[in-house]
Structure 1
Amino acid sequence: MYNMKDLVLNIIAYAAQRDVDVSQLCKLSGINPGSLKNLTPTHTQLQHLWANAVHLTNDSLFGLHLGESLRATALGIVGNLVQSSATVGEALTHAAALVHLITNQCSMKIDQGKGTFKVHLLPAANPENHTAFGNHQLTELLMVIVIHELDGLMLKKIVPKSVLLPYRVIDPAEYERVFRCKPGKSVDEFSITFHQQYWNEPILTANHELQELLLKKISSLPSPKSTSSTFQTRIFNHLIANSYLGLSSLNDIAANFNMSPRTLQRKLKEEGASYQLIAEEAKRSLAEHYVSSGSFALKDISWMLGYNDLSAFSRAFKRWTGKAPVDYGA
């Protein structure tokens, strides 16, 4: 079951991926880095953690980017949604009831409209449990998770009709990239509006079965050949961990790491690597892993790895392994 400890650990893990010294982050936030396994965080520690993560990564959109890189499965809630829901509408209804497992600083409500439905994220009213800054980071994280997890439930990339925030954003283009639509300003509302057509869409569980398999086995997947290249390793791990809806593009990874594509390419070049080579290695690792499991249709694996054409995936797989997918492991 999920609790605030998991959120804290995910914040720390993402900050580490962004090259932040974990010991420094913990000490600044009043957290003993030696006792993370037995941590029982306070709300004050969480707020300090948000602030220090933003400061040390120099990323004012840290919560937004964490939400983009963090799948809800990592928070332990997707399994509950898939097991207890038949449609997207049911999943969202159950999600609204499960938000308290993630945090008591925010609740979720769903309103039906004419041709649309709206997901509201409602900040807690108790000022002792949150600050405006920390609340904004957490609420943006949850909003991004809602959008990206709907992709997995429906096995398609969806675009919200609108997103509203109760403040003017400092980087509209980056918010639009992550939310997939231009955010608007409201008086006091955090909300995402979707077309009604999505409400009764049946949930496809195969994609999350693939993700569950991936998360269980991720530690056994090979790292890039040059283990000394720490930045390429972080990029590789990011691609693997977020691959169940396709591999992230160079531009998306660069933005998530709060740098330009040119800077990301330069850092990789300094280590003798490139995004293209790392992406190819990630695809190969994932393809071999999924195919060898023998549990999933090749068309699903092909789609997951970004191949719209099964024949193109089969050709790539044979180039990597010397065998067609149907013959692999035989």
Structure 2
Amino acid sequence: MKQLVSAIIAYAVQRDVDAAQLCKLAGISLTALKKQSAPAITRSQLDALWLSASRLTGDPLFGLHFAEAAKPAALGVVGEIVQTSATVGEALTHAAALTHLVTDQCRLEIHRTAKNFSVRFVPVTDYGDAPPTTFKLLVEFLMVMVIHEVSGLMLEKIMPSAVRLPYATPDPAAYERVFRCKPVKRAGEYVLVFDIRYWDEPILSANYELQSLLLKKTGKLQHKTDKPQSLEVRVYNHLLANSYLGIISLEEMAANFNLSPRSLQRKLQEEGVKYQDIADSVRKSLALYYISSGNYAMKDISYMLGYNELSAFTRAFKRWTGSSPAGYQSL
């Protein structure tokens, strides 16, 4: 629970919310939270944190956007799942058993058929079809996290075949974009459905290791500037820290900051930079780091940076450095 609370606060700060003000509204001691012996967070404090973060950011879809931005390893359970799993099916089964480490408000159930498998989020309290806002924020966050983390474990952008919620979504286009599937209303259900072909797919544990490495190395690779709170810096560091899932689009980044793509572009232009320039800068930093480490084949680096063809990566690298990847590696 403490890790989830810390992650929520960190994301809210990224969205220009004052951490001290947010914690005060939630009745949480920020000083105590940083200590190992911090008192347990109560459900009422967590509820107040969700609501206050949503209100202070002006984002009614705070849970969805937080899930897009969150680093699963920071919640402390992904590593344990990966270490005990060989396939996606095993990982989800273990995740279901570890849900209590993140929340006590719902549990996960996994169901398989010949054609698909489903991940069902079962509320501990029966809210019917009108759950409180705080539970909606929590369960939507957990559902999106499952989609994104499975994608990360496979290094593939997984699309659910169905998403079911017990209420009509307030912004269908945003939900469809984040869930990668149009949610349908189904009484009493919080369910993700996936094609059965994903069940026995092996987990790329090396990709989790890459994620962990990036989280540790982010401080060294982060963009340095005399404007630490600039939008450019926040966009750059968000792309960097989440790059194990690929470099996200302008539209996805804009949604993360609760802005329209045009507004994000305009705000970046006011700082004298374009989104594509920031994305290329992240790719360049990571490419140089991967090549210098000597741990990855060129085709793997190309794929991790979002290039379907090695030739496209080679052209981009020459544009960044004036040298080919192989030439740079031999220096």
TM range (shorter): over 0.9
Distance, in Å, in 2 between the alignment partners of 1:165 and 1:143 is: 10
Instruction: Judge which range, 155-164 or 229-238, deviates more.
Output: 229-238
Match of 1:257 in 2: 257
CA shift at 1:25, angstroms?
Answer: 0.8
2:173 is aligned with what amino acid? A
| Two-structure CA RMSD over aligned residues (Å) | 1.8
CA shift at 1:316, angstroms?
Answer: 2.2
CA shift at 1:188, angstroms?
Answer: 0.7
Q: TM-score, normalised by structure 1?
A: 0.93
Distance, in Å, in 2 between the alignment partners of 1:183 and 1:113 is: 21
CA displacement, residues 146-187 of structure 1 (integer Å, 9 cap, x when unaligned): 111111222211110100111111001000000011001111
CA displacement, residues 244-280 of structure 1 (integer Å, 9 cap, x when unaligned): 1211111111012111011111111111122111111
Q: Is the 8 A contact 2:3 2:76 kept in 1?
A: no
Q: Note if 1:313 corresponds to 2:310.
A: no
Distance, in Å, in 1 between the alignment partners of 2:188 and 2:121 is: 11
Distance, in Å, in 1 between the alignment partners of 2:152 and 2:80 is: 14
Equivalent residues in 2 for 1:113-128 (5 A)?
A: 113-125=113-125
Q: Note if 1:328 corresponds to 2:329.
A: yes
Q: Is the 8 A contact 1:71 1:149 kept in 2?
A: no
Match of 2:34, SS?
Answer: helix
Match of 2:176, SS?
Answer: helix
Q: Note if 1:138 corresponds to 2:138.
A: yes
Gaps of 5+ in 1: none
Instruction: Judge which range, 52-61 or 216-225, deviates more.
Output: 216-225
Equivalent residues in 2 for 1:1-330 (5 A)?
A: 4-38=1-35, 39-40=38-39, 41-125=41-125, 132-223=132-223, 227=227, 230-326=230-326, 327-328=328-329, 330=331
CA shift at 1:329, angstroms?
Answer: 6.8
Instruction: Judge which range, 216-225 or 320-329, deviates more.
Output: 320-329
Distance, in Å, in 2 between the alignment partners of 1:270 and 1:118 is: 45
Match of 1:67, SS?
Answer: helix
Instruction: Judge which range, 81-90 or 190-199, deviates more.
Output: 81-90
**C-alpha spacing 1:238/1:222, structure 2 compared with 1 (3 Å):** closer
Count of matched residue pairs:
324
Distance, in Å, in 2 between the alignment partners of 1:199 and 1:168 is: 29
Match of 1:19, SS?
Answer: coil
Distance, in Å, in 2 between the alignment partners of 1:63 and 1:89 is: 25
**C-alpha spacing 1:84/1:11, structure 2 compared with 1 (3 Å):** same
Q: Is the 8 A contact 1:110 1:117 kept in 2?
A: yes
Distance, in Å, in 2 between the alignment partners of 1:283 and 1:226 is: 22
Gaps of 5+ in 2: none
Distance, in Å, in 1 between the alignment partners of 2:46 and 2:323 is: 50
Q: TM-score, normalised by structure 2?
A: 0.93
CA shift at 1:298, angstroms?
Answer: 2.1
2:213 is aligned with what amino acid? L
Distance, in Å, in 2 between the alignment partners of 1:25 and 1:102 is: 20
